[in-house]
Amino acid sequence: MDSTFGILISLAAIVFTFLPLLRKGKTISPVDRLHRNRESLEFDLENLETHLRELEFDFKMGILDSEDYKESKGEVQQQIDTIHKELTGEKDSKKTLSCPSCGAAVKAHNKFCKSCGHPLK
């Protein structure tokens, strides 16, 4: 009985010693957080795409009727679109283009500069 109590005390001591260290290890810098967000978005996207395939499969197998399938598919597709927008929006903000001639901000899909008419690649 005494030895069990002793073990419990030492276990408690170990937990109290290492718990703050474990918590410290989990704090991440803002840069890591950005990176993590992107990774988690990509992770969510994969999950949603898998879910979409599962829905399709269930529909083909006759588990889902067409109304349920359309509704669920619409919801998942919407979430996928939102994540796509977030991911591409991030890419676009990194690729801020400027006109080589006048320096005005131009969009990647523009063929000519709206400010001076300089042809863009």
Interface residues toward Zn ion, by CB under 5 A? 99, 101-102, 104, 113, 115-116, 118
Least gap, CB of 92 to Zn ion (angstroms): 19
| Min separation Cβ 103 and Zn ion, Å | 7
Identity of residue 44: D
Residue 106: exposure state from Cβ atoms within 10 A (0-12, 13-18, ≥19): buried
Comparison of 108 and 116: residue with beta carbon closer to Zn ion: 116
Of 92, 93, 97, nearest to 110 by C-alpha is 97
Tokens of 97: 């283009």
The least CB distance from residue 119 to Zn ion, in Å, is: 10
Q: Closer CB to Zn ion, residue 26 or residue 121? A: 121
